[in-house]
């Protein structure tokens, strides 16, 4: 009797309260049809869903506790059918009843972390229900502002009168993909998505970003007039229409794309279609050279991003490193596209910058199914911004560059101590390498990061007494070679006796040290190498790397490494660890990409 009275009172109060809410529903572009649906949402957000999904004949699982009796009475008054049971009491019989209901075409709802928690963790046994019934699971997330969160284990949500209520419906998880990890990631991602779209500060920041993009649109369109028609169209989001819902991969630069190569190989092997975007000309050229399907990333304006997403219709998004474009990611999240990040990194400087937009940054990335960082320091920095991650190492460590062709060695005449390849060099670094080469008797091979500096580097080599040759001229026995073509550096390191990796003498954090190490070539680098700090630490410990700041230190470091024997045996196994591939496959599983 008490339960009935409480149920009646609850129905009246909830109906009055619910009618004041401003409800927004986020639905995926592709849902499911039919009545046989299994809804899944966290225990703490039941109240608003009881109102929004009332009188739909949904069968809901409720525990046999006293609190469950009150909830059952309220749900029945709101037009739900109830099944009593939990993981501790009557669970098996309740699960069988739910399976039978789904097979008969009835909609069913469960709170997979209830009735006692832990919060936001799917109980292992509940993933059996969709597999046995052959029914997909639709993950739900709910958030409201303003609202009250009780101090219960599930942080029970009570939206206040006239609150903005967001209900986020995710893409259905197919029965074959239903396991504890995938379902937990799916429901958690939808919960974070709902929170993103109810956060006032995040909404204000994205509105500012969209306004800034709108104001700058005339300038960007003017700049694009001087680019090729292909780049102009792609930057404007005018890519060919894609109908296969591909996995969308994004890496800004050539180095970031190379870090995605293990992911590309996994997708290729599994016959999964993908589409690659980038931001630099070198990366775009690489996409074409490799015969891959892709384009430039659209500029971060509402118009360009909407065009791009409407034409691509991606099934999932995988970002390389930390490419945070507010409008692009916000719109991606609004469409419910599962997302993940690999090779994720954050420098101290970037972390400080992102703190200025922390509500938008953290809430957007928290919608991701998973973020795989390169190191513990990167994970700690993400955590300081409110984003949880997993350490997986660097995908570049998995990629073994091709060995250099035999005819390449004819281009270079080794010095007394051999050849030094200086890759991805920046302004000021070539001068240091040329001085080190003179004092050690090494033949310098210079590969500037930006080709618009080739004349500058050529003149610099002449001032130091060298007779430089350009790679494209196909020289023989060059005593100073300047590489003026793209795409050869990774293999070229294989010809060197020692290597220098650029971007480390300035405050840039360094470029890919894995390329020379993968050839078992020792390296000398400058003090700014935080992008690869863990790898440098391991390589230094294993005596195949030296860090220097001055020319004198560089000369000593180079001579020490060149005098060592059996360097190739010192390359540790962890540089090509399987950890990245293992974590990557798990992330793809959470994103419902079967490889």
pLDDT by residue (tens digit) across 115-137? 788 899 998 777 888 889 889 99
pLDDT class of 570 with cuts at 50, 70, 90? very low
Reported as a pLDDT band with limits 50, 70 and 90, residue 572 is very low
d(CA 587, CA 590): 5
Q: Cα torsion for 515, 251, 389, 312, to the nearest 10°? A: -150
Give the model's confidence band at 10: pLDDT under 50 very low, under 70 low, under 90 confident, else very high. confident
Mean pLDDT of the chain: 89
Between 3 and 263, residue with greater pLDDT: 263
Nearest to 430 by CA among 469, 467, 462, 461: 461
Look up residue 166 and give its DSSP letter: E
Extended beta strands in 400-480, E state: 418-425, 442-448, 469-470
CATH number of 406-576: 3.40.50.2000
pLDDT category at 67 given cuts 50, 70, 90 is low
Cα torsion angle, 3, 9, 12, 18, sign: negative
Taking residues 507-516, report their average pLDDT: 88
Q: Which residues of 540-558 are buried (b: 16+ CB within 10 A; e: fewer)?
A: eebebbbbbeebebbbbbb
Domains 200-393+580-590 and 406-576 share a fold: yes
pLDDT surpassing 50 at residue 79 = yes
Give 180's contacts (C-beta < 8 A, 6+ positions apart): 122, 123, 124, 127
Return the residue matching tokens 């992008």: 531
Domain map (residue ranges) of the chain: 2-170, 200-393+580-590, 406-576
Say how far apart CA 249 and CA 277 lie, in whole Å: 6
Given this model, what pLDDT does residue 31 score?
Answer: 55
Fold for 200-393+580-590, please state it.
Answer: Rossmann fold (3.40.50)
Mean pLDDT of 130-146: 93
Place of tokens 């739909």: 56
**C-alpha span between 118 and 590 (Å, rounded):** 20
Q: Is the pLDDT of residue 197 over 70?
A: yes
Tell me what the mean pLDDT of segment 152-167 comes to: 94
pLDDT of residue 577: 60
């Amino acid at each position: 009797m008490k339960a009935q009275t409480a149920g009646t009172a609850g129905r009246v109060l909830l109906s009055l309260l619910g009618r004041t809410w401003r409800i927004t529903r986020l639905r995926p572009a592709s849902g499911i049809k039919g009545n046989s649906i299994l809804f899944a949402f966290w225990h703490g957000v039941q109240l608003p869903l009881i109102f929004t999904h009332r009188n739909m004949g949904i069968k809901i699982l409720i525990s046999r506790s006293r609190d469950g009796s009150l909830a059952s009475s309220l749900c029945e008054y709101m037009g739900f059918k109830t099944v009593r049971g939990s993981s501790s009491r009557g669970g098996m019989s309740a699960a069988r009843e739910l399976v039978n209901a789904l097979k008969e075409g009835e909609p069913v709802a469960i709170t997979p972390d209830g009735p006692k928690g832990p919060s936001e963790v799917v109980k292992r046994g509940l993933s059996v229900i969709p597999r046995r019934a052959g029914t997909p699971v639709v993950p739900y997330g709910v958030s409201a502002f303003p609202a009250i969160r009780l101090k219960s284990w599930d942080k029970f949500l009570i939206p206040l009168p006239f609150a903005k209520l967001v209900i986020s419906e995710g893409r259905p998880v197919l029965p074959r993909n239903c396991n504890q990890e995938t379902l937990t990631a799916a429901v958690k991602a939808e919960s974070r998505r709902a929170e993103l779209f109810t956060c006032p500060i995040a909404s204000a920041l994205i509105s500012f970003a969209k306004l800034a993009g709108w104001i700058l649109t005339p300038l960007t369109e003017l700049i694009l007039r001087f680019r090729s028609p292909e780049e102009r169209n792609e930057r404007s989001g005018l890519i060919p229409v894609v109908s296969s819902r591909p996995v969308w991969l994004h890496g800004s630069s050539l180095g970031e794309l190379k870090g995605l190569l293990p992911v590309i190989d996994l997708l290729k092997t599994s016959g999964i279609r993908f589409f690659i975007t980038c931001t630099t000309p070198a990366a775009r050229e690489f996409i074409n050279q490799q015969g891959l399907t892709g384009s430039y990333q659209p500029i971060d304006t509402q118009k360009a991003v909407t065009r791009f997403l409407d034409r691509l219709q991606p099934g999932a998004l995988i970002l390389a490193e930390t490419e945070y474009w507010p409008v692009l990611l916000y719109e991606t999240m609004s469409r419910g596209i599962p997302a993940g990040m690999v090779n994720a990194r954050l420098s101290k400087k970037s972390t400080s910058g992102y703190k200025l937009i922390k509500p938008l940054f953290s809430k957007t990335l928290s919608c991701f199914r998973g973020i795989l960082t390169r190191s513990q320091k990167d994970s700690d920095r993400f955590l300081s911004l409110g984003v949880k991650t997993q350490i997986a190492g660097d995908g570049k460590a998995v990629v073994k560059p091709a060995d250099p062709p035999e005819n390449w060695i004819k281009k270079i005449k080794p010095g007394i101590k051999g050849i030094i390849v200086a890759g991805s060099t920046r302004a000021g670094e070539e001068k240091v390498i040329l001085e080190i080469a003179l004092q050690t008797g090494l033949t310098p091979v210079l590969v500037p990061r930006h080709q618009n500096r080739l004349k500058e580097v050529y003149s610099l080599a002449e001032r130091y007494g060298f007779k430089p040759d350009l790679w494209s001229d196909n020289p023989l026995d060059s005593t100073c070679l300047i590489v003026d073509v793209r795409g050869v550096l990774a293999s070229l390191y294989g010809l060197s006796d020692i290597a220098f990796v650029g971007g480390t003498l300035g405050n840039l954090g360094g470029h890919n040290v894995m390329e020379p190490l993968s050839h078992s070539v020792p390296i000398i680098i400058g003090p700014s190498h935080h992008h690869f700090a863990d790898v440098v630490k391991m390589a230094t410990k294993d005596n195949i790397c030296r860090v220097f700041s001055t020319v004198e230190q560089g000369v000593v470091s180079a001579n020490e490494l060149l005098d060592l024997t059996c360097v190739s045996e010192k390359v540790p196994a962890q540089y090509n660890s399987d950890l990245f591939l293992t974590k990557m496959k798990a992330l793809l599983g959470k994103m419902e990409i079967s490889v």
